Structure 1
Amino acid sequence: MIITTKYLIPKGYTSIALFPFILIRDYKYMEDKTLINHEKIHLRQQAELLVLPFYIWYVVAYLLLYIKYQNHKRAYKSICFEREAYTNESELDYLPSRKPYNFINYF
């Protein structure tokens, strides 16, 4: 389910996946198939890890990568979940053929 809201999305971001929802900052992004696919990949990752472990892993990975790189953007883009989503967001047929736990290949 896609919800439009500007209040729950961190500044500088257009969307966020919070299982089972995709939150989008503005209606104009509703038609962006690449953006929606990116968030759907995150929803699949969250479901595979039973939601809460996904968020814990995501935050811990971000913190460790931030310590390593001392740079928010580089740390964020280096998280395995983001690497999988960014790499495959343009492949709109990616999810049906995606293997379970494929994010592990992006360490």
Structure 2
Amino acid sequence: MILISKYLVPKGYTGLTIYPFVFLKHQKLKEDMTLINHERIHLRQQLELLIFPFYIIYVTEFLIRLLQYKGWKRAYRNISFERECYLNENNLGYLKTRKLWTFITYFKANEF
């Protein structure tokens, strides 16, 4: 379910996914199929990890990446879940062919 909330989406971001909801900053963003696909990939990741563990892994990996890259943006972009989303967001058929737990392959991927 897609909801619009400029208050829930952090500054500097256009969308946020908290299963089962996708929050977008502005109504017009509903038309951005690349963004919607990115957020749907996150929904699948969250479902695969039974939701709560996703957030624990996400935050833990972010903190590790923050120490590794010493910058918020680089740390965020290099979280394995984000790597998978950013690298596949333009492939609108990606979720039809995506294998279970694919995000694991992005743990060791090169810097984004």
Question: Which TM-score applies when normalising by structure 1?
Answer: 0.98
What 5-or-longer segments of structure 1 have no aligned partner? none
What 5-or-longer segments of structure 2 have no aligned partner? 108-112
Q: Give every structure 1 segment of 4 or more consecutive aligned residues whose post-TM-superposition deviation is greater than 6 Å.
A: none
User: What is the CA-CA distance between 1:69 and the residue it aligns to?
Assistant: 1.1
Query: Matches of 1:15 and 1:97 in 2, distance apart?
Result: 24
Query: Matches of 1:68 and 1:100 in 2, distance apart?
Result: 27
User: What is the CA-CA distance between 1:103 and the residue it aligns to?
Assistant: 0.3
**Residue by residue, what CA displacement relative to the aligned partner does 1:35-61 show, whole Å, maximum 9, x if unpaired?**
000000000000000011000000000
- CA RMSD of superposed structures (Å): 0.5
Tell me which residue corresponds to 2:45: 45
| Identity score, percent | 55
**Residue by residue, what CA displacement relative to the aligned partner does 1:47-88 show, whole Å, maximum 9, x if unpaired?**
000011000000000001101111011100110000000000
Equivalent residues, number? 107
Question: Which TM-score applies when normalising by structure 2?
Answer: 0.94
Name the SS for the 1:30 alignment partner: helix
Residue 102 (structure 1) aligned with residue 102 (structure 2): yes
Residue 85 (structure 1) aligned with residue 81 (structure 2): no
Tell me which residue corresponds to 1:55: 55
Query: Matches of 1:54 and 1:83 in 2, distance apart?
Result: 15
